Amino acid sequence: MNNSELIDIRNQIDLIDDQIISLLEKRLMLAKKLAENKLKKQIVDEKRENEILSKIKSKNIQEIYKSIFNESKKIQKN
């Protein structure tokens, strides 16, 4: 791989990272909005989490989603 190809791949990764960051920010904002509507109801919905995880084939991505779930729960509790 030459330097130009390396730069191109890194630029593509940067664009994807920008999209991921934007989507995660939107997701966390919605989690907070959801918490406002739940009030004192149950924050954790394990069935829903398991449904989402079952769609994901990669164990690595499942672990990332578990982290996303945890951060969403933290936001909902505050």
Is 58 in a helix, a strand, or coil?
coil
In whole angstroms, what is the distance from residue 3 CA to residue 19 CA?
25
Tally of domains in the chain: 1
Residue 40, pLDDT score: 56
Q: Read off the pTM.
A: 0.79
Checking if the pLDDT of 55 tops 90, the result is yes
CATH of residue 33: 1.20.59.10
Backbone angles phi, psi at 56, to 5 degrees: -100, 120
Tens of pLDDT, residue by residue over 56-75, are 999 999 999 999 999 988 88
Question: Where in the sequence is the domain holding 57, given as residue range(s)?
Answer: 3-77
Q: What pLDDT is attached to residue 39?
A: 61
**pLDDT, tens digit, 9 for 90 and up, residues 7-50:** 999 999 999 999 999 999 999 999 888 877 766 566 678 899 99
